[in-house]
Amino acid sequence: MRQFFICLLGSISLSFVSAQTTATFESFGLAPDNFLDGGDNSGGFSDGNVFLPNSYNFDYGSWSGWAISSMTDTLTAGYTNQFSAITGGGYDDSDTYAVTFASPFSNLILTEGAAGGTVEGLYVTNNTYAYLSMLNGDSFAKKFGGETGDDPDFFLLTIKKYLNGTLSTDSIDFYLADYRFEDNSQDYIVKEWTYLDLTALGDADSLQFSLTSSDVGQYGPNTPAYLCLDQITTLDVATPVKDYLTDVAVRIFPNPTAEQVTVHWPQHQTGNALLLDAQGQIIKREQLFSGDNQIGMQELPAGPYRIRIQSEDGFLTRQIIKQ
Amino acid sequence: MRQGNTGWRPNGAPLPRPGLPTDLSSWHCSVSQPEGTMPAFIHLFAVCLLLSLPLFSVAQIDTLLQLPTVEISETSVRSQVTGGRTRNWDRADLRAFAHTNLAEWLGQQSGLYIKSYGSGSIATTSIRGGSAAHTSVLWNGLPIPSPMLGQLDFSLFPLGFIDRAQLTYGGNSAAWGSGAIGGVLSLSNEMPGDSTAGLDLRSTLGSFGFQDYQLSGYYRQGRLGFQTRLFYRSADNDFRYRIRPDLAEQVRTHAALQQSGILQSAYWKPDARQQLSIHVWAQQSDREIPPTTVQNQSLATQADRFIRTALHWKRIGPQMIWQARLGLFREIIDYRDEQIRLQALTGFWTTQAEVSGSRAWNGNHHLQFGITHNWVTARADAYARPPEQNRTAPFLVYRYHLGDWTLQFNLREEIVDGKLQPLVPGLGLEGPVSRHLRFRAKVSRNYRLPTLNDLYWQPGGNPDLLPESGWSQEAGLEWRAVTGAHSWSLGITAFNRHIDNWILWSRPDGQSFWSSNNITKVWSRGLEYRAEWGWRSSDWQLQLSTAYDYIRSTNEIGITSPKLERGEQLIYVPEHQAFGQARLQWRQLQLQYRHTYTGPVGSLNVGQLSGYDLGSTGLTYHLEKSNWGSRLYLQINNLWNVPYRVIERQPMPGRHFQLGLQLYFRRPTGSQVHQPIP
């Protein structure tokens, strides 16, 4: 019986290609102590097979979503140092990593061959602003442990996935700080890059990251909800190679677009197009016929979206920027 | 590069800077009792009732009670409150507390709830369940709260710089405009009327390095008068406290302050019918911002600088009284925090002008009409460009006396940058029901304009905000009598107020940053009880007074961000407050004891803060000769060494002391008595 299962697994694995892609963010070529906060209106950052959405508000000169950083400051407290990781650099002495403000949450979108596949794992650590706030307290937030040192404080990272527009109930939980131990000497705040195995989440279109803190007031969490990520490894194994659509024949244009996007569908049999927002939720579903098909986007707010084309032969996913 | 908007938080940073060393730090006492151990609220309420009982057993009632405080006799009809509850203090009342600031004095003498971050730190008020921005503060008839924040830091106001104070409870926007919702505190200056020249020196030393030095001099010659006041104050505020009795004692750090200021006044009567006064007040304050109890250290400091100029002209004609006021205020706040590499420099200019005329017919009809104009501009890094605001408000006051009854109608319409604001009427009535019983009632509409930060702060400022507005009603009875050496008074007031379009910083669904919005309604209602008994003989005087306030001030719309339940009491608004005072005087010696109870309050982060009882006592020896006098005073605050918190995560000092000496010299006027210029 056991041999039968081994044979079955072996035959299944033969029909897939187990390609691995790792987003290291080094491709952005940032010199030390720099960051990209989306001020170039790029709408996000692509590396490996992941896309990190960013929204930049030019009126306020502020950003939300993700940023790319090579900041090395591990000493300065406060939001003026919001782009630094407490490790002083990326994983394994690399220069560059990703930073997000995950309150209430932020999403990471899988692209190319990783879309709909499994994320093998990634490295996480605390942001310097959050770390020092938990360690020492600040004008808004408490030092963990509270006045007596005995408060059972915590800073919890929860990772869920979206697949076909549905948010999973299962999650990967990781304590970036944990002061719930009876013995206060065991209390800790993470200050190293720590690997999280995400394979248990299974196939996903996107990942959702949220941070919760025990330090919550009337205005919500007080602990600065920043998180740093690096070395995001995705597996392109979810789709048989022979079935995977190539985008040589399927054309999606214009991109970016202000009003509508055209999908040129070269095949005789019909296909489907799903328009997803940055959170991976399905906004529109259109049937594709041979030739040009228009999908209206006039009513949608500006930002990054994804179009997922699927037919009996497979699927592909492309990012669209709505201006 | 500014921070990501998601990193911004709305509940504003506290403030302060460096202080000087002092030599009385050993006077401090540590606090070690557990919180909230005294059930004195019940005791105090029982005392209130006991004090009231004799009122109903007085056999013979002769005359109306002479209040221990002096009524302000301004000729402005607008300044007179009909139907509302007021309390007044004159120079004699204020002089004993000149070494304190407005926050400390109000907390001790009025029983008002003062939201203080600690000794010398930021302090604001909540009157009748209103927010800090719902107390309008007037200085010589001109509102002085910051147009950026809508409120005033009461800890920056030295009491030695005012000569008269009037506190009006409840809304009075029809008279004083935006912000006069919870109450109005009117502070004014005038020259002493009993002498032509004088010099006043005062020095006070206290626990935690407290030092206060004041110098005041005045001179009058013919139609001219001048008065100069100077003060310097510093404190280390390094008091000791304990989180819990079983934990080690801690020392409050980085809480020093240093303040100094000058107030120059000049008075001129060009002829018998006209008078002109000008006041120029310059002040600087440097404070360190102490860490909270859940913060290891703080390096934050705040420097406040301001100059306020007020000009007042008055002409008393045969039929009309004309008045004009002009105010020019400039304030700067420099907040720095080296720890987070932050420097925030903010500031504003305000100019205010007001012209009014008033006249009376047959002694029964009084009419005052006028117009005010207010121009403000402010600077802050968070403003895209310096905002400007122009406000114009015509107003009308009509007062009618029918016998002993008085009816007053106020009306005001404010136009802000060309937009009409709510028409604000007010109607008050008061008069005697019987020989010793007076009735008063008032109904008014009140409002508060959004602050410049509410409108223009980026991110989150909302230029489309509506003013907070609503109606309030109050009614009260006051019973006063004197029997021989005894005097009695008893008063009770009920009030009710609804405010719509209450402004809060919130984060609507789908928005990544906090913004100001008109998102809730607040319903405030309550009862206020006051009782006093006085007795005097040739050498002795005794006065007992008690007060109790019941205030429900509830949010009427459930909100998720910030999290507010419908029917929930507003944070930092105590439901119960009680106050008792005993004052005994024997010749030149006066002994005073005050006790306050403040009920539990909700807080932003830690749930409900325990209620607390505080006692304080003072001993004063006052020697007065024909042309000089002296006053030696000792004050003991937090007499019972009670650990308490007014604001979450901010410790307060235990028992502490202040010892002071005042010397003054006068050159009497002789028979000619100078009339004070209001």
Q: B665 pairs with which residues across the strands?
A: B199, B628
Concatenating the DSSP letter of every residue in B64-75 gives PPPPSSPPP--S
Tally of structural domains, chain B: 1
B636 with B657: CB under 8 angstroms? Answer: yes
Question: Which residue would you say has higher pLDDT here, B90 or B74?
Answer: B90
State both tokens at B653.
């000092």
Chain B nearest-CA distance from A174, in A, is: 22
Determine the pLDDT at residue B673.
Answer: 42
Burial of B267-290, coded b for 16+ CB within 10 Å and e otherwise, reads bbbeeeeebbbbbebebbbbbbbb
User: Does B109 fall in a domain?
Assistant: yes
pTM (2 d.p.): 0.82
Q: Which residues pair with B519 in a beta bridge?
A: none
Which tens digit of pLDDT belongs to each residue from B622-662? 999 989 999 999 999 999 999 999 999 999 999 999 999 99
Per-residue pLDDT of A95-145, as tens digits, reads 999 999 987 889 999 988 888 889 999 999 999 999 999 999 999 999 999
Q: What pLDDT, on a 0 to 100 scale, did the predictor assign at position B191? A: 82
Rounded distance between C-alpha atoms, residue B214 and residue B237, angstroms: 20
The beta strand positions in B486-514, using DSSP E, are 486-506
| Measured distance CA(B515)–CA(B199) in Å, rounded | 52
Nearest CA in chain A to B510: A104
Choose the closest CB to B294 out of A137, A224, A225.
A137
Cα–Cα distance between A212 and A223 in angstroms, integer? Answer: 9
Task: Answer whether B236's CB lies under 8 Å from B256's CB.
Answer: yes
The answer to whether residue B73 scores a pLDDT higher than 60 is no
User: Could you please report the per-residue DSSP string of A10-78?
Assistant: HHHHHTS---EEEE-SGGG-PPSS-EE-STT---EEEETTEEEEEEEETTTTEEEEEEEE-----S--S
CB pairs under 8 A between A and B: 130
What is the structure's pLDDT at A41? 81
More confident residue, B36 or A83: A83
Minimum-distance CB partner of B2 among A62, A64, A136: A62
The H-or-E segment that residue B176 falls in is helix B173-176
Query: Are B294 and A146 an interchain contact pair (Cβ–Cβ within 8 Å)?
Result: yes
The larger pLDDT score, comparing residue B18 to residue B369, is at B369
On the question of pLDDT at B21 being above 80, the answer is no
Task: Say how far apart CA A264 and CA B1 lie, in whole Å.
Answer: 42
Mutate one of B31, B243, B254, B294 to test the A interface: name it (highest A CB count within 10 A).
B294
What are the phi and psi torsion angles at B11 (to 5°)? -85, 45
Q: Is residue B671 in a domain?
A: no
Cα–Cα dist B343/B13, whole Å = 12
Domains of chain A are 17-235 (2.60.120.1350), 241-322 (2.60.40.3080)
The answer to the question of residue B298 being in a domain is yes
Is B583 a domain residue?
Answer: no
Look at phi and psi of residue A143 and say left if phi exceeds 0, alpha if psi is from -120 to 50, else beta. beta
Which residue do the tokens 């607008």 mark? B78
pLDDT mean over B377-392: 95
Q: Looking at CA atoms only, how far is residue A118 from chain B in angstroms?
A: 28
CA nearest neighbour of A285 among A266, A249, A267, A309: A309
Question: Best mutation site among A69, A147, A300 for testing chain B: the one with the most B CBs within 10 Å?
Answer: A147
Predicted confidence (pLDDT) at residue B96 exceeds the cutoff of 50: yes
Residue of B nearest to A145 (CA): B294
A218 with B300: Cβ contact below 8 A:
no
Give the mean pLDDT of chain B.
Answer: 87
- Residue A17: pLDDT band by 50, 70, 90 thresholds? very low
- C-beta separation of B195 from B664 below 8 A: no
Q: Taking CB atoms and an 8 Å limit, are B9 and A219 in contact across chains?
A: yes
Judged by CB atoms closer than 8 Å, whether chains meet at A82 and B649 is answered as no
> Which of the two residues, B506 and B54, has the higher pLDDT score?
B506
Q: What strand order describes the sheet that includes A260-265?
A: A251-253, A260-265, A291-296
Determine the average pLDDT of the residues in A19-34: 93
Distances (CA, A) of B96 to A38, B163, B200, B620: 61, 12, 13, 9
Out of B5, B341, B561, closest to residue A60 by CB: B5
Model pLDDT, residue A248: 53
Q: Mean per-residue pLDDT for A192-211?
A: 94
Residues B496-501 have a mean pLDDT of 97
The span from the CA of A273 to the CA of B23, in Å, is: 79
User: What's the token pair of residue A106?
Assistant: 């932020």
- pLDDT confidence tier of residue A280, bands split at 50, 70 and 90: low
CA separation for the pair B181, B136 (Å, rounded): 8
Give a yes or no: residue B619 inside a domain: no
Of the candidates A101, A146, A219, which has its C-beta nearest B7's C-beta? A101
How many angstroms separate the CA atoms of A234 and A227, rounded?
A: 19
Model confidence pLDDT, tens digit, residues B557-585: 999 888 899 999 999 999 999 999 999 99
The CA distance from B151 to the nearest CA of chain A, in Å, is 21
Closest-CA residue of chain B to A279: B510
Residue B406 lies in a domain: yes
Going by pLDDT thresholds of 50, 70 and 90, the confidence category of residue A150 is very high
Please name the residues in contact with B297: beta carbons below 8 A apart, sequence gap of 6 or more: A136, B253, B254, B291, B339
* Residues of chain A that touch chain B, judged by Cβ-Cβ distance less than 8 Å: 37, 39, 55, 57, 59-64, 67, 76-82, 101, 103, 129, 135-140, 142-143, 146-148, 215-220, 222, 224-226
> Does the pLDDT value for residue B674 go beyond 50?
no
Give the tokens for residue A19: 């390609």
Residues of chain B in contact with residue A143, where contact means CB-CB under 8 angstroms, are 294-296
Share of chain B above pLDDT 70, in %: 87
pLDDT at B28 over 60: no
pLDDT digits (tens, 9 = 90+) for B354-366: 999 999 988 899 9
Binary contact (A129, B512; C-beta < 8 A): no
User: Which SS3 state, helix, strand or coil, does residue B35 take?
Assistant: coil
Q: Range of B428's domain?
A: 3-469+510-519
Cα dihedral value B632, B637, B639, B643, nearest 10? -160
Predicted local distance difference test score (pLDDT) of residue A103: 79
Q: What is the pLDDT of residue B5?
A: 34
Instruction: List, for residues B128-185, the tens digit of each pLDDT value.
Output: 999 999 999 999 999 999 999 999 999 999 999 999 999 999 999 999 999 999 999 9
Give the whole-angstrom CA distance, residue B287 versus residue B234.
Answer: 9
Cα separation, B211 vs B294, whole angstroms: 29
How far is residue B295's CA from residue B281's CA, in Å, rounded to a whole number?
Answer: 36
What pLDDT, on a 0 to 100 scale, did the predictor assign at position A315? Answer: 67
Residue type, B207: S
Q: In this structure, what CATH number is given to the domain that contains residue B453?
A: 2.40.170
Residue B617 lies in a domain: no
Q: Which residues contact A78 (CB under 8 A, 6 or more apart)?
A: A129, A132, A138, B337, B339, B340, B341, B342
Contact check, Cβ <8 Å, B4/A63: yes
Inter-chain touch B243–A148, beta carbons under 8 Å: yes
The per-residue pLDDT for A242 is: 39
Query: Chain A residue closest to B342 (CA)?
Result: A80
Band (pLDDT 50/70/90 cuts) for residue A170 is very high
Where residue B514 falls among pLDDT bands split at 50, 70, 90?
A: confident
Chain A closest CA to B222's CA: distance in Å?
A: 56
Tell me if residue A104 falls in helix, strand or coil: coil
Mutation target among A57, A138, A209, A277 for the B interface, most CBs of B within 10 A:
A138
What is the Cα–Cα distance from A196 to A193, expressed in whole angstroms?
10
Residue B1: closest C-alpha in chain A: A61
ipTM of this predicted structure: 0.80
- Across the interface, do A224 and B293 touch by the CB < 8 Å criterion? no
Kindly state the helix (H) or strand (E) to which residue A283 belongs, with its residue range: strand A282-288
pLDDT of A255? 83
Mean pLDDT, residues B116-124 taken together: 87
Q: What are the tokens at A323?
A: 């201006």
Q: Which residues pair with A266 in a beta bridge?
A: none
pLDDT-based confidence at residue B67 (cuts at 50, 70, 90): very low
Judge: B300–A139 Cβ closer than 8 Å, yes or no: yes
Q: Do A219 and B243 touch (CB under 8 A)?
A: no
Q: Shortest Cα distance from B171 to chain A (angstroms)?
A: 28
The pLDDT assigned to A237 comes to: 55
In a domain, B179, yes or no: yes
Least confident of A51-60, B63-72, B92-101, B130-139: B63-72
Residue A238: the pLDDT is: 46
- In this complex, the residue of A77, A140, A146 whose CB is nearest that of residue B339 is A77
What pLDDT is attached to residue B63? 30
Closest CB to A103: pick one of B6, B14, B604.
Answer: B6
Task: Check A80 against B340: CB less than 8 A apart.
Answer: yes
Which of A59, A79, A128 best tests the B interface by mutation, with the highest count of B CBs <10 A? Answer: A79
Q: Which residue in A62, A80, A81 is closest to B513 by CB distance?
A: A62
Q: Are B439 and B407 in contact (CB under 8 A)?
A: no
With CA atoms as reference, the chain A residue closest to B243 would be: A147
Q: Which one of B342, B563, B571 has the shortest CB-CB distance to A80?
A: B342
Share of chain A above pLDDT 70, in %: 88
Using the structure block, give the residue that is written with the tokens 């927010």: B131
**Angle CA(A252)–CA(A257)–CA(A261) in degrees, nearest 5?**
40
